[in-house]
Amino acid sequence: MALNQLGLLRPVLYLSASHLVRTSVGTSSRVLLHFQNAGSQGGVPPPCLVRFYATKKSKAKAKGQQAKVNINASLVEDIISLDEVKEDMAAVLTTLKDDFSRNLSIRTSPGALDHITVSTKDGKFPLNQLGQISMKSPQLIVVNMTGFPEATAAAARALQESSMKLNPEVDGTIIRVPIPKVTREHRENLAKLAKQFSNKAKESLRRVRSNAVTQVKKSKEGVSEDTIRLVEKQIQQMADSYASDIDKQLANKTKELLG
């Protein structure tokens, strides 16, 4: 008798239990049940639950990002002017670009003479402001000094004394500049010179950083060591950034010179 009554209650108990399971688990359980049924019928297999862990690379990247500092310059102006330090570092990069422009031309276009400065009684002027520069052939550049004939001799002298090792020929107000054929050896020598200029720039950059750090260390009195360390890190980050820019300038110039 009792067993028969229990048998009659079994469907009711089953429905109640199913309702509780659906309510507590929610949508995700219904999705999982769907995949299980599909798997049993030869359909899509049930998904695997995977937990992702941070890799060493991602941890190192996160650590590097946390190590960066960005100090408000106004908060440490009593210690050092970070803006002035940045200007000094920027000047190093500007000097490098100027050295590349002045001394590392492969002499294959009229623009190769634009950087040459001519000293006159009225001051110093770029050659392209005093004369019209044109390329007559790959081996000959002509400078027409008709606009400033009085500066013809000075312009010829500036061309001869430039680092490009030119031998200008003067005919009235016309200056003919023969261009030696650019050999592979010449290109390689210029690339070596570019490396020397970049090393010189890095030395100047290190000198700026060292002087700045020395100034910071002299201000320890009345300043917490944590603040000093943060300022030093900021200076180092600035130096690293400009050192990276120097490397990029060298890579680009080397590629240009070697072709």
pLDDT tens sequence across 205-214: 999 999 999 9
Same domain membership, residue 248 and residue 188: yes
What CATH number is attached to the domain comprising 208?
Answer: 1.10.132.20
Residues 135 and 234 placed together within one structural domain of the fold: no
Q: How far apart are CA 227 and CA 217, in angstroms?
A: 11
Total domains in the chain come to: 2
What pTM, to 2 d.p., does this model score?
0.57
**Between 51 and 179, whose confidence is greater?**
179
Average pLDDT (163-188) is 87
CA distance 127 to 117: 6
Q: Tell me, yes or no, whether 247 and 135 share the same domain.
A: no
Same domain, 220 and 235: yes
Higher per-residue confidence, 221 vs 2: 221
